[in-house]
Structure 1
Amino acid sequence: MQIMKHPISPSSSILRSKVRLSPYLFTLLAFIIFVTILYGEDFMCIFGQQLQNYSNQDKLYSTNERVKKQIKVPFAVGKTEEGCDIFSGKWVWDEVARPLYEESDCPYIQPQLTCQEHGRPDKDYQHWRWKPHGCDLPKFNASLMLETLRGKRMMFVGDSLNRGQYVSFVCLLHQLIPEDAKSMETFDSLTVFTAKEYNATIEFYWAPFLLESNSDNAVVHRISDRIVRKGSINKHGRNWKGVDILVFNTYLWWMTGLEMKILLGSFDDEVKEIVTVSTEDAYRMAMKSMLRWVRLNMNPKKTRVFFTSMSPSHGK
């Protein structure tokens, strides 16, 4: 069973424990740990959406005539002219707005991550939310998010931490979608949630190192002797092309406490050439490969790319 920890801020000690990080806290984390935007776009680029705004019914319109209005939702409410640093703040107790959904209401959470079903006695961890200094984050709006994703593909790429974000995101949205208008399918490393009426998909692609590795099996990947193939990001990258919102993460699987083994050739080679490098150098190699791949394959006018940095870890 995978055990997850509470979210931890540098100034918070009351949140430290050995219990799992619940997927209920997705909305507290998902929009504050996207710390590196690979293009210089404002965070609001995700939330800006062309929505239909119909006038009062007593007004006469010609057949099928509609009035459209561009609506921008502020990322931070109450921010000053100088802006609001959403990364500087604290965890606050919220009895009213949290949790945003109940574990029992979401069928997509993996059995090993269902805290309440496995007998966790407390529910306090569901009520913490992140509060930046000087401003506030708007409450998650599932209807707006579904409209924002209409006709689009959103994909999470990375390890089990990003998979947790993905599942939590789906749990936040699925109750607004009729049962016969949604589906969840898995194809090897790719899992796809489809909102049919919105012509939208929310996807997760398992690639714990982003590069090709001997841990790429989406089911059987408890491998202690980890080997990563240099210059191999296209092996997985071909499955990421064409998405509208791409959220990368990779970190935890590099933290072995040992040096990393890097394959210079192919996993199909009869004699494999493997070198050992420091974790820092190996991780730097992966980051450069990801940035290069994004630059060559993503259109900044169409796709928003985010990178999720270090996250609260969970046990193996």
Structure 2
Amino acid sequence: MLGGKSCVYKGSVSLALVILILLMVLILVSEKNPFHTSIFEMQRQFSVSSSVCNFAKGKWVEDRRRPLYSGFECKRWLSAMWACRMMDRTDFSFEHYRWQPEGCSVSGFERSAFLRRMQNKTIAFIGDSLGRQQFQSLMCMASGGEESPEVQDVGWEYGLVKPKGALRPDGWAYRFPTTNTTILYYWSASLSDLVPMNNSDSPPLIAMHLDLPPAFMRTYLHRFDVLILNTGHHWNRGKIEGNHWVMHVNGTAVNNEYFKDIGNAKDFTIQSIVKWLDSQLPLHPRLTAFFRTISPRHFRNGDWNSGGNCNNTVPLTRGSKITADGSMDTTVERALNGSRIKILDITALSELRDEAHISGSKLKPRKPKKVSSNETQIINDCLHWCLPGIPDTWNELLVAQL
């Protein structure tokens, strides 16, 4: 009899424990419980951190919800020479694809959510004209390609004003006042510091300091929350001599054989800038820095002067998938190895999209009644991209990694 009572007692205790555990679970998963958010946020953060996503591997998939903005209406920020909707191009099937990384997902870009996320933050692009395309793309994405008179031009805060007689300023900066989000671009094709030399040459020579970042970057780095660097296509003899740049290291002009190889000079500069920026990151804990890999060009035999071979308008004739590990831009990949700077690897996925360049399109004359049809300018550019287009994907991958 006593043993029977003991069994009943033990059974009652077990049942009570089960009920208690169930009550605790119900309390924890209740949305009103203050611990609910923190516990499940910890779980989400663990799942994200425990599996690193390689955004460069994946495939292009059709998405009829694209493009992300209108190529007709984003006139305030979108250059006419890149707005293919304003040209005589008739096929825009290239606009209807998105990049799907392997093993992870990229949430669809939503401008209001993006601006809220970037509240009180400054995003800076520093690089060449491909960096300018990415900047213009993000401005159109953030504004929805719509007229946005409330967006403020704050270039003056960064010294980005058009000098007298210049075609354009060295960059642009705009602020979305509702969230105090600033997006800016600074032109630095080589990412090296350029300083006019004290000489009587005409035109004057410019010292190209391979081991120093641009003065603009050094001056305003403390104001940036997100920084995206790029370089690559100006590293050739024609560009360097045409710009009257004279390579310097340690403040002295270089004449040794190593730097006569332009590839060596580019590699040295990228490594120098990465090393400098990495040393600055502990001093700027709010800053997240990216180095975007080189954007591929599709000229015949890789030669600008040989004519374009990217007049193809059929998407994905080069395939739709990237399965290989490692970046096609080995220079940037090696330089970033071991640093705190993130790689924005867009080279291989962009290599598949030769149909999305602006080559073969024609700029419509601004005053068609006064300009004959044979004066219409035909574009032979297999380097820059139509917008909306591939740089929008670069920005989606950027936002996914912030």
TM-score tier by shorter-chain length is 0.5 to 0.7
Cα displacement string for residues 199-244 of structure 1 (whole angstroms, at most 9, x for unaligned residues): 22100011011102489xxxxxxx9x99733333252323431211
Which of 104, 107, 121 does residue 135 from structure 1 map onto? 104
Further displaced range: 300-309 or 184-193: 184-193
Q: Is the 8 A contact 2:210 2:265 kept in 1?
A: no
* More strand, by proportion: 1
**Aligned pair in 2 of structure 1 residues 285, 266: CA closer, same or farther (>3 Å)?**
closer
Gaps of 5+ in 1: 1-54, 57-68, 216-222
Aligned residues: 234
Instruction: Give the superposition deviation at 1:262.
Output: 4.9
Which of 89, 92, 95 does residue 120 from structure 1 map onto? 89
Which of 229, 233, 237 does residue 217 from structure 2 map onto? 237
Q: Residue 283 of structure 1 aligns to a residue in which SS? A: helix
Percent identity over the alignment is 23
Structure 2 residue 232 is matched with structure 1 residue 251: yes
Instruction: Give the superposition deviation at 1:177.
Output: 8.8
Letter in 2 for 1:121: T
Structure 2 residue 262 is matched with structure 1 residue 308: no
Which of 199, 204, 210 does residue 191 from structure 2 map onto? 210
Cα distance in 2, alignment partners of residues 206 and 214 from structure 1: 14
Instruction: Give the superposition deviation at 1:310.
Output: 1.6
Cα distance in 2, alignment partners of residues 79 and 288 from structure 1: 30
Aligned to 1:100: 68
Cα distance in 2, alignment partners of residues 161 and 196 from structure 1: 27
Q: Residue 130 of structure 1 aligns to a residue in which SS? A: strand
Q: Return the TM-score normalized by structure 2.
A: 0.50
- Give the 4+ runs in structure 1 shifted more than 6 A: 69-72, 78-81, 257-261
Q: Is the 8 A contact 1:207 1:236 kept in 2?
A: no
Within-5 A mapping of 1:281-292 = 281-292=264-275
Q: Residue 282 of structure 1 aligns to a residue in which SS? A: helix
Letter in 2 for 1:253: H
Aligned to 1:200: 181
Q: Residue 234 of structure 2 aligns to a residue in which SS? A: helix
Cα distance in 2, alignment partners of residues 206 and 258 from structure 1: 15
Letter in 2 for 1:231: D
Structure 2 residue 263 is matched with structure 1 residue 263: no
Cα distance in 1, alignment partners of residues 263 and 249 from structure 2: 21
Q: Residue 179 of structure 1 aligns to a residue in which SS? A: coil
Letter in 2 for 1:118: M
Q: Return the TM-score normalized by structure 1.
A: 0.62
**Aligned pair in 2 of structure 1 residues 256, 226: CA closer, same or farther (>3 Å)?**
farther
Cα distance in 1, alignment partners of residues 73 and 293 from structure 2: 29
Cα displacement string for residues 73-94 of structure 1 (whole angstroms, at most 9, x for unaligned residues): x99xx99975543221111121
